[in-house]
Amino acid sequence: MKAVYPGTFDPVTNGHLDIIKRSSKKFDKITVLVLNNPSKNHMFTVEERIKLLKEITKNFENVEVDSFTGLLVDYMKQNESKLIIRGLRAVSDFEYEMQMALMNNSLYDEAETFFLIARDKYSYLSSSIVKEVASFNGDISGLVPNIVELAIKSKLRGE
């Protein structure tokens, strides 16, 4: 069974990685999809996010990384995928994610969304929080994989 795990992953966090690890044990193939949303101000380019995700997931035989622009369901139809993986951190996530799941299903009736509840230690974690903490020179070492921490620090130094 093929599944997609879409997101901006700007940057990818340990919470994202946990969802990828857990999903890779449940599905035959996972495609981590990097959202290309030109209207947002991202820290990393799509290409940089893909590179980081490929490095982080290189030991998962059934995980690949791709990107998309536009409707998720269009990507799914083109790639013969019917399953969407989404992580939920808090009740506040559920309302938005339920709305998106229902919309995706209305656009593509074969689309099903599987929700994974974040582990306690990641329930507060978001890419936005990581970027904010890092921008004030806070310790992000336990929040992101090491390669991502180095990339963030490099970005903030203007390298």
CATH code (residue 12): 3.40.50.620
Counting the structural domains of the chain, the total is 1
Q: Tell me the two tokens of residue 50.
A: 């893909």
pTM for the predicted model, two decimal places: 0.94
135 is catalytic: no
Q: Tens digit of pLDDT per residue, the chain (159 long)?
A: 899 999 999 999 999 999 999 999 999 999 999 998 877 789 999 999 999 999 999 999 999 999 999 999 999 999 999 999 999 998 878 999 999 999 999 999 999 999 999 999 999 999 999 999 999 999 999 999 999 999 999 999 887
What one-character-per-residue DSSP string does the chain give? -EEEEEE--TT--HHHHHHHHHHHTTSSEEEEEEE--TTS--SS-HHHHHHHHHHHTTT-TTEEEEEE-S-HHHHHHHTT--EEEEEE-SHHHHHHHHHHHHHHHHHSTT-EEEEEEPPGGGTT--HHHHHHHHHTT---TTTS-HHHHHHHHHHHTT-
Residue 157 designated active-site:
no
Domain of 32, in residue numbers: 1-155
Question: Which residues sit opposite 67 in a β-bridge?
Answer: 34
Q: Which residues are annotated as a binding site for ATP?
A: 8-9, 16, 87-89, 97, 122-128
